[in-house]
A and B are shown apart, each in its own frame.
Chain A
Amino acid sequence: MKKIWAIVWKDIIIELRTKELFSSMFVFALLIILIFSFTFGFSVEFIPVAAPGILWVAFTFAGVLGLSRSFAIEKEWNSILGLLISPIDRSYIFLGKMIGNMIFVFIVEAIILQIFVLFFNYNLFVNLPSLLLVILLGTVGFVSVGTLFSAMAVNTKLREVLLPVLLFPIIVPVIVSSVKLIGVILSGKPIAKAGSSLQILILFDIIFLVICTVIFEYVIEE
């Protein structure tokens, strides 16, 4: 739908102008990898086991930063009301916001992957297509719920601080499955070794994409 794309495009232009989202997400991700490299850096045996976990910590923590900003810009001048008085389905507003968030998070994830390879001197790209697929599925999971929750969090006294509190317990299935899957991919074993992780991940994505899209209107209306 053109209207959804209009919203995505708007968010991209705003971000290109201010670069707020990006710089904070990037710096934060860098710091996380840095800290982990101090802890694990010199013991090469740990990396294959720890890599999926480190990656997902970096993805989600940096991602949450970006998610918070997404609705903060709508709240700043109450511009969201401009969206609400126009004849656009509330679910389209959600999808527009979510797609915008996914784009930003993907870019940061790509950068994180590169930084990881650099700092840990470890080749992540043994099976690139599978790796990217899992990261894609995992990101869809946490960005969909994250977009919904950030619309709520921005309206609270705690603002951005509340978002991780709400989000992390909910995305446990995403993190557990993705970590397991990436672990299996990096060690070159066939995906079947990860048990039903892939199915669980896909199930989560489908269920919550639908639910969040539908339930968004209750969050956004007066």
Chain B
Amino acid sequence: MMKTLAGLTFIGMMASLYMAFIYAPTEAVMGHIQRIFYFHMGAVWVATIAFTVVFIASIQYLRRESRFWDILALSSAEIGVLFTTLTIITGSIWAKPVWGTWWTWDPQLTTTFILWILYIAYLMLRSAVSSDVKKAKFAAVFGIIAFIDLPLVYLSVRLMRGISPVVFGGRGGGIAPQMMFTLVVCLITFTLLYVVLLRERMSVEKMKEELARLKLEETT
């Protein structure tokens, strides 16, 4: 199962790269730099899924108290922070030539930045708690609150003026069908990538716990 997923992901990646850089038409206003947006959207997509998964896993952990949900939350959070970082980096790379600046405080960017900080706070909270059970509980509580908070952050930050990027104008306005297709392929690929990474991370964590358990049994 893992091999199939990994294989599909690889194919998807190759396809995405080809489509983003060669197949998709050049955007009218921004030129070639716009191509990075397909990967930027992929990263945003995964960052969002990961955050949602952390939320759901946190709720389930508080209800069931089974290790599975905690491991899922942790793994998803780690992947999430990675992809949020990628989102910010790809966003910056795009922004510099197009807006003339690496960063600006518009609503989308600011919310992404806060998301990044929330992920990091989540991971910091986990590492600051020594007891395993407390760690999982606290993290779950924070995961739930952070997820509910983010839409409010976006709403409040929108009160500040924003420069929303218009990214997909093909000739004659709107998204050209080839661009749409490329985008969809990218999103699917990134989703597969997320699942693959998630399963890997979870099995590593399960092995760690198994190891710790065996060590404990050995000493008693």
Contact = CB atoms under 8 A, between A and B. Distances in A.
B157 A176 contact: yes
B59 to A, nearest CB: 10
B14 interface: no
A204 B149 CA distance: 8
Nearest to B124: A165
Given A158-B128, A219-B141, A169 B118 contact: yes
Interface in A118-173: 145, 148-149, 152, 155-158, 162, 165-166, 169-170, 172-173
B155 A211 contact: no
A170 B145 contact: yes
Contact of B117 (A157, A169, A173, A215): A169
Contacts of B159: 176-177, 180, 194-197, 200
**Which size class do A's interface residues fall under?**
20 to 34
B125 A162 contact: yes
A166 B125 contact: yes
Contacts of A158: 124, 128
B149 A173 contact: yes
Interface in B113-131: 114, 117-118, 121, 124-125, 128-130
A90 to B, nearest CB: 13
Contacts of A173: 149, 152-153, 155-156
B106 to A, nearest CB: 14
Contacts of A222: 133
Contacts, number: 89
A203 interface: yes
The size class of the interface chain B forms with chain A is 20 to 34
Contacts of B62: 215, 218
Interface in A189-205: 194-197, 200, 203-204
Nearest to A195: B159
A115 B140 CA distance: 40
15 contacts: A145-B145, A152-B125, A156-B138, A169-B117, A172-B153, A173-B149, A176-B160, A194-B159, A200-B152, A200-B156, A203-B152, A208-B145, A212-B145, A215-B62, A218-B140
Interface of B: 62, 114, 117-118, 121, 124-125, 128-130, 133-134, 137-138, 140-142, 144-146, 148-149, 152-153, 155-157, 159-160
Given A158-B128, A162-B125, A172-B114, 4 more contacts: A177-B156, A211-B148, A215-B144, A219-B141
Interface of A: 145, 148-149, 152, 155-158, 162, 165-166, 169-170, 172-173, 176-177, 180, 194-197, 200, 203-204, 207-208, 211-212, 215, 218-219, 222
9 shortest A-B CB distances, which residue pairs?
A173-B156, A156-B128, A173-B152, A176-B156, A169-B117, A158-B128, A152-B138, A172-B153, A170-B149
